[in-house]
Every structure is written in structure tokens, then in C-alpha cells.
């Protein structure tokens, strides 16, 4: 079992104990996508993101040269690549594709013959 560090204890909540936080952080450091981490631990992707944000915030508050801003985050690579690609056929991406195609179809219909 992974021993949680002080940052994991600070980032822990009632539903995410320090051991879970440390496990999520270690998997993310191995560059495993957030979706896979979420499925391994029975969480949603937003839950994984929140755990990583709390962990980063705990790290940045302990840094000696931390900014005075409360939103300052330590770039440990945990949040790198947060914007992961949507799976093929995702409703949001399909909506965007169809609306783009409809726009081009309407442009052709508006051209003078």
C-alpha cells in the first residue's frame, strides 16, 4: 500500500481518504489518463480532477516561494494534458461536426447560380 504524504493528508476529504489521494497522484505521475484512473477507483473524471487540484493546491501552499494568490498551483505535471481528447462519437463532438456541415451546406445554397 502506498503511504500518503502530508500533501495527500491535506487534500483528503471524507469520501477520498489520503490513501486514495496518494494512489491517484501516483497513477497520474505515471501519465495514466484521468479516465483510466477514474475507472480503476470507481470515481468520475471530475472527482479525479478535484483530487489532483486539491493535492496541487496543498503543494503550492507549502512551497516557500508560493505566490500570494490562493489559486496558485504547483506544476508537478499532475494536471498536464488535462484536456484529453473526447472518445470517438461523443455527442458534443458529433454536434459540432454536424453544425459545421450544416453551415457549409447553407453557404452553397446562398450562392447565386
Q: Which helix (H) or strand (E) holds 101?
A: helix 91-110
Helix 45-62 × helix 18-29 angle, to 10°: 90
Grid coordinates representing 5 are 504524504
Query: pLDDT digits over 49-88, tens only?
Result: 999 999 988 888 876 654 544 444 444 566 665 566 777 7
- Report the 10 Å Cβ neighbour count for 32: 13
Percentage of the chain with pLDDT > 90?
A: 31
What pLDDT, on the 0 to 100 scale, is given for residue 62? 77
The predicted model scores a pTM of 0.59
Distance CA 35, CA 29 (A): 14
Q: Please check the confidence at residue 94 and state whether its pLDDT lies above 60.
A: yes
Distance CA 28, CA 50 (A): 13
Amino acid at each position: 500500500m502506498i503511504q500518503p504524504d502530508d500533501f495527500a493528508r491535506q487534500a483528503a476529504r471524507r469520501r477520498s481518504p489520503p490513501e486514495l489521494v496518494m494512489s491517484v497522484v501516483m497513477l497520474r505521475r505515471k501519465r495514466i489518463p484521468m479516465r483510466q484512473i477514474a475507472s480503476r477507483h470507481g470515481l468520475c473524471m471530475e472527482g479525479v480532477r478535484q483530487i489532483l487540484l486539491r493535492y496541487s493546491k496543498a503543494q503550492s501552499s507549502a512551497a516557500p516561494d508560493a505566490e500570494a494568490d490562493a489559486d496558485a498551483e504547483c506544476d508537478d505535471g499532475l494536471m498536464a494534458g488535462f484536456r484529453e481528447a473526447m472518445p470517438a462519437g461523443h455527442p458534443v463532438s458529433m454536434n459540432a461536426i454536424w453544425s459545421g456541415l450544416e453551415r457549409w451546406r447553407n453557404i452553397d445554397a446562398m450562392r447565386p447560380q
